[in-house]
A and B are shown apart, each in its own frame.
Chain A
Amino acid sequence: EAQVTQNPRYLITVTGKKLTVTCSQNMNHEYMSWYRQDPGLGLRQIYYSMNVEVTDKGDVPEGYKVSRKEKRNFPLILESPSPNQTSLYFCASSRRDGLTDTQYFGPGTRLTVL
């Protein structure tokens, strides 16, 4: 089954404790990205990657890091989480053929930073 998976689905942590949210897709998609969803703001892109070893900032990159060492994986790293990073996070993937292809989203990770 074609899918995007994320782990963990739920996470409660404390300020300053480094964490990683994993994302994996099995569709051989070149493009992957991370979004955060906040009430009244919709979803906003954090980082994206157009292929292995190619990543760039989205609209709200502060406090986050990413890496793309393999095509299927795109982890999101919070080196020192703060309460304002409490949010619902989505990983997405799509083909990349020069047009805006349909983004397929993972199930979401609900993060609470105390």
Chain B
Amino acid sequence: AQKVTQAQTEISVVEKEDVTLDCVYETRDTTYYLFWYKQPPSGELVFLIRRNSFDEQNEISGRYSWNFQKSTSSFNFTITASQVVDSAVYFCALSDPSGGYNKLIFGAGTRLAVHP
């Protein structure tokens, strides 16, 4: 069965620190997709990235970067020089074909608090 583990429940950092959010997944599929979503205090879910299992290149988008390692089934997310606006709950998610190909299995989330 598909499973996503975000072992870090809460992380607290001071502004300008770098922070890495861990995501470990389990799947028997050879083709799958991984996602990260951000949930700020206002509650909505903001899409950050979608990565397919055949593309192991790391991705960088501004202060955000993602490290996909198939060998360890991990898809970690790093925020460089964190800012107060990065304070949010971050969810890692894995595709599950049982729900018509577009079902997502979410981790429990990591709450990030960035203090000034």
Q: Which residues of A line the B interface, CB within 8 A?
A: 31, 33, 35, 40-45, 48, 50, 56, 58, 88, 90, 94, 96, 98-105, 107-108, 110
Contact = CB atoms under 8 A, between A and B. Distances in A.
B43 A108 contact: yes
Given A100-B33, A103-B35, 11 more contacts: A33-B103, A40-B108, A42-B106, A42-B107, A43-B106, A102-B35, A103-B102, A105-B44, A107-B43, A108-B43, A108-B44
Contacts of B33: 99-100
Contacts of B109: 42
Interface of B: 4, 32-33, 35, 37, 43-45, 47, 50, 52, 91, 93, 95, 97, 99-104, 106-109
B77 to A, nearest CB: 15
Contacts of A99: 33, 52, 101
B34 to A, nearest CB: 9
Contacts of B107: 42
Nearest to B106: A42
- Mostly, the A contact residues are strand
B100 A102 contact: no
**Smallest CB-CB A-B distances: 4 pairs:** A42-B106, A100-B95, A105-B45, A100-B33
A75 B113 CA distance: 35
B102 A96 contact: yes
B9 to A, nearest CB: 8
Nearest to B92: A42
